[in-house]
Amino acid sequence: MDRAEAPALLLVAPTGGGKTLAGFLPTLAELADGRHRGLHTLYISPLKALAADIRRNLTTPVTEMDLPIRIEDRTGDTSHSRRQRQRADPPHILLTTPESLALLLSYEDAPRIFAGLQRVIVDEIHALAESRRGDQLMLCLSRLSSLVPGLRRVGLSATVEDPKAIARFLSRHPDPCEVLYADSGPDPDIAMLATDEPPPWAGGGGRYAIPAILDQVRRHRTTLIFHNTRAQAEIFFHHLWLANEDALPIGIHHGSLSREARERVEAAMVSGDLRAIVCTGSLDLGIDWGDVDLVIQVGAPKNVKRLVQRIGRANHRYNAPSKALLVPANRFEVVECQAALQAVRDRDLDGEPRGPGPRDVLCQHILIAACAAPFDADDLYAEVTTAGPYSTLSRADFDACLEFCATGGYALRAYDRWQRLMQRDGLWSLRDPRSSRAIRMNIGTITDAELLKVRLRNRGGGQPLGEVEEGFAASLTPGDTFLIGGQIVRYEGLRELTVEVSRDPGRDPKVAVFSGSKFSTSTRLTERILAMLREPSWPDLPAHTADWLALQREVSRLPSRDRLLVESFPADGREHLCIYGFAGRNAQQTLGLLLTHRMESLGLNPLGFVATDYATLIWGLDPVADSAPLLDRACLADELETWLQGNAVMKRTFRSVAQIAGLIERNHPGQRKSGRQATFSTDILYDTLRRHDPDHLMLQITREEAMRGLVDFARIEAMLDRVEGRIDHLRLDRVTPLSAPLFLEHGKVPVEGAARERLIAETAARLMAEAGLA
């Protein structure tokens, strides 16, 4: 309260510290006399559910105290009529998400909507600061600060390794931002869950631990069971339910479920009707579930900071120790969980610093600005550079983004007649005002795969059960069964953009492949794991895992911090090469792409690879006798240049960059209803640009993004530096204990090369012969 007048303030407290309410106290005090007209405080959270939760928690005291304050939330789930009303007559406190705020700012009447705004509260800013959603939000705040000078900013953050960086991110550059720390509370009570059955060799999901987990659920009031991906949560929930003989009330909650399904679970949770919830990151952030007394993390946490935040869900009261259990999903994760336990006890948080705000988000911001009103380029540049993540943006970079928005920014100046933005009387505006609709539909920086709604057939457009990825829907044939919201459904067909299903009493579903967020295990945690592998024996590890590591040491070798272990062996009629770089999933993926590219040019006929946090497994038609030349650092760096061009990771990155920057549209009104031959893959655009316009802005951004995100070449370099050429290449006659799990990994990447052509030709010849057509 003392700091209520500060232009920017960051409040750092462990989960459960009551910081959200603290953030609202000045607002309630200022609004208590009922004289304020219009919007006073804007609350931004990364989650729709959080906005709804805060509205409930805030409305109760305000009603009890009979304060003259109107509180409403506004998210993608809010009805159209309600949103219209909110624009015409904004409440005193509006709770919303970064995307909904960006949309509000794109309207011509934005100055009127936000007139009178005094404070903006950004909740869970530590989570937003890690993503483009936060970058977009900070651009929106720069806009708001221009509309209403004197706007005060408050950020609420969980415990993080570098609060000052978050403060710089939040405040209006160059305004100061004070950081307030709350007491970090007692040490958590955390352990690995003991199970009768050992974890499986590979895979995720923790199904083996269901009896032990049910037992824990019985012994606690309310348990949150976290999974790292939605698919794993679904599968786990299904099997948990089959094993749930006491019919304990257990729910499931994740981002792919329909709003109705999520709200039902949230309401049941709040009223204390559920004994457990199987959930994903959708419950990671500050929703106050009150009575949770146990958190179970299924699967390795990958990142200690997130684990600590999840653990904080339990005993959401200050000064009570949180209780948590870790459930490794497979043998390797036992090692990882053990390392994470040590890190939590040592309060050793991890985090990788982020670079400046990406330019694709800026392009979107420029288009949004043009939707709202004609703008002056100098003014917009000055405004944008007040946003923390863009404070170092050069004028040249800004101009390139503006040029892209206006003309496409192509070397071939083809769009002089059909510019998107035109300069009239010195101000930039949309050439065709109708294009504002498409720009608004495209707002946001979350570019998950295209999702399709799932509904029961013959229910007159019944309630959607949830959503699945388009790619998954395309892989279904009628009669296939899959899990959604814990039910088994049968795929009946695709109607327009809806997956139609019926209920299926069967017990063995084909699995729904939602691509969950795949995080890389952090550098800090990896270091701890490698240190553990060096120990002569592992008394702290369960015997099954200790034996497995011992067997690897006997049959081959254990990876170590300053040497690089490479194994090659035949299996399943293919040659395999396994590189234990321990560089994290993304870097190991890049290593897979680089190495297969080199193998292709050396005629070693690679067919594909798969990467995990600790290794890359490559398979192909020919054996690799010596991997040292393949792993030469200078060659790899050279290779990176050529390779960066044509690979799948770059194309995937390009797709999201192009979508965010507005080069392609994700939701074109009415366009996707007719046949699919009208739409073409963004890979084609990527290839075309690369050939004709290699320095184009979109390719520059793609490269930058890939380097810092999916490519993560820095971690490969760090690994090679550490190793300094000490490569142990072992030729073995069969699969090794440590490599075996990789065979069962998802996310195999095919290599398009000579070997693929040979295989296609062989397959075609065989099928033609079988069909009697050859």
Q: Where on the chain is the footprint of other proteins (CB under 8 A)?
A: 407-408, 410, 412, 414-415, 417-420, 431-432, 434-435, 438, 474-475, 477, 662-665, 668, 675-681, 684-685, 688-689, 691-693, 696, 750, 752, 756-757, 759-761, 763-765, 767-768, 771, 773
Between 78 and 419, name the residue whose CB sits nearer to other proteins.
419
Between 179 and 685, name the residue whose CB sits nearer to other proteins.
685
Task: Report d(CA 381, CA 396) in Å as an integer.
Answer: 10
Q: According to the 3-state scheme, what is the secondary structure of 124-146?
A: CHHHHCCCHHHHHHHHHHHHHHH
Between 150 and 675, name the residue whose CB sits nearer to other proteins.
675
Helix (H) or strand (E) holding 225: strand 223-226
Between 190 and 660, name the residue whose CB sits nearer to other proteins.
660
DSSP annotation of 512: P
Task: Report d(CA 347, CA 327) in Å as an integer.
Answer: 20
List of residues 6+ apart from 513 with CB closer than 8 A = 231, 469, 471, 472, 475, 746
Q: Which residues pair with 96 in a beta bridge?
A: 44, 74
Between 585 and 696, name the residue whose CB sits nearer to other proteins.
696
Q: Give long-range contacts, CB 8 A cutoff, 24+ apart: 259-263.
A: 259/48, 259/77, 260/463, 260/464, 261/465, 261/466, 261/485, 262/49, 263/52
Measured in Å, how far apart are the chain's first and last C-alpha atoms? 83
Between 74 and 420, name the residue whose CB sits nearer to other proteins.
420
**489 three-state secondary structure:** strand
Between 374 and 750, name the residue whose CB sits nearer to other proteins.
750
430-464: buried (b, 16+ CB within 10 Å) or exposed (e) per residue? bbeeebbebbbebbbbebeeebbebbbbeeeeeeb
Q: Write down the least CB distance from residue 379 to other proteins, Å.
A: 24
Q: Write down the least CB distance from residue 390 to other proteins, Å.
A: 23
Q: Write down the least CB distance from residue 646 to other proteins, Å.
A: 14
Q: Write down the least CB distance from residue 478 to other proteins, Å.
A: 11
Q: CB of 644 within 8 A of CB of 672?
A: no
DSSP one-letter string for 562-627: TSEEEEEEEETTEEEEEEE--S-HHHHHHHHHHHHHHHHHTT--EEEEEE-SS-EEEEESS--S--
Between 361 and 533, name the residue whose CB sits nearer to other proteins.
361
Between 437 and 731, name the residue whose CB sits nearer to other proteins.
437
Q: Write down the least CB distance from residue 654 to other proteins, Å.
A: 11
CA dihedral of residues 543, 544, 547, 552 (deg, nearest 10): -150
For CA atoms 95, 515, 656, 695, the dihedral sign is positive
Q: Write down the least CB distance from residue 680 to other proteins, Å.
A: 4
Q: What share of the chain is helix, strand, coil (3-state, %, to 5)?
A: 40, 15, 40
> What number of other Cβ atoms are within 10 A of residue 488's Cβ?
18
Tell me whether strands 427-430 and 421-424 are parallel, antiparallel or unpaired.
antiparallel
Between 109 and 757, name the residue whose CB sits nearer to other proteins.
757
Between 271 and 477, name the residue whose CB sits nearer to other proteins.
477
Residue 334: name the closest of 229, 198, 223, 213 by CA.
198
**51 three-state secondary structure:** helix
Between 182 and 685, name the residue whose CB sits nearer to other proteins.
685
Q: Write down the least CB distance from residue 408 to other proteins, Å.
A: 3
**With left for phi above 0 and alpha for psi between -120 and 50, is residue 272 left, alpha or beta?**
left
Q: Write down the least CB distance from residue 418 to other proteins, Å.
A: 4
**With left for phi above 0 and alpha for psi between -120 and 50, is residue 16 left, alpha or beta?**
left
> What number of other Cβ atoms are within 10 A of residue 319's Cβ?
10
Between 497 and 761, name the residue whose CB sits nearer to other proteins.
761
Q: How many Cα atoms are found within 13 Å in the side-chain-facing hemisphere of 300? A: 27
Q: Write down the least CB distance from residue 435 to other proteins, Å.
A: 4
Q: Write down the least CB distance from residue 484 to other proteins, Å.
A: 20
Q: Write down the least CB distance from residue 523 to other proteins, Å.
A: 33
Q: Write down the least CB distance from residue 420 to other proteins, Å.
A: 6
Task: Report d(CA 156, CA 162) in Å as an integer.
Answer: 14
Q: Write down the least CB distance from residue 516 to other proteins, Å.
A: 22
Between 24 and 686, name the residue whose CB sits nearer to other proteins.
686
Q: Give long-range contacts, CB 8 A cutoff, 24+ apart: 765-773.
A: none
CA dihedral of residues 335, 336, 337, 340 (deg, nearest 10): 130
Size (the chain), residues: 774
Between 625 and 684, name the residue whose CB sits nearer to other proteins.
684
Q: Write down the least CB distance from residue 630 to other proteins, Å.
A: 23
Q: Write down the least CB distance from residue 436 to other proteins, Å.
A: 9
Between 637 and 754, name the residue whose CB sits nearer to other proteins.
754
Residue 269: name the closest of 252, 245, 284, 294 by CA.
252
Task: Report d(CA 631, CA 35) in Å as an integer.
Answer: 70
Task: Report d(CA 18, CA 12) in Å as an integer.
Answer: 11
24, amino acid identity: F
Residue 659: name the closest of 395, 459, 360 by CA.
360
Q: Write down the least CB distance from residue 679 to other proteins, Å.
A: 5
Q: CB of 546 within 8 A of CB of 538?
A: yes
Q: Write down the least CB distance from residue 87 to other proteins, Å.
A: 24
Backbone angles phi, psi at 206, to 5 degrees: 65, 30
Task: Report d(CA 773, CA 751) in Å as an integer.
Answer: 29
Between 373 and 422, name the residue whose CB sits nearer to other proteins.
422
Between 202 and 494, name the residue whose CB sits nearer to other proteins.
494
Q: Write down the least CB distance from residue 17 to other proteins, Å.
A: 45
Q: CB of 3 within 8 A of CB of 149?
A: no
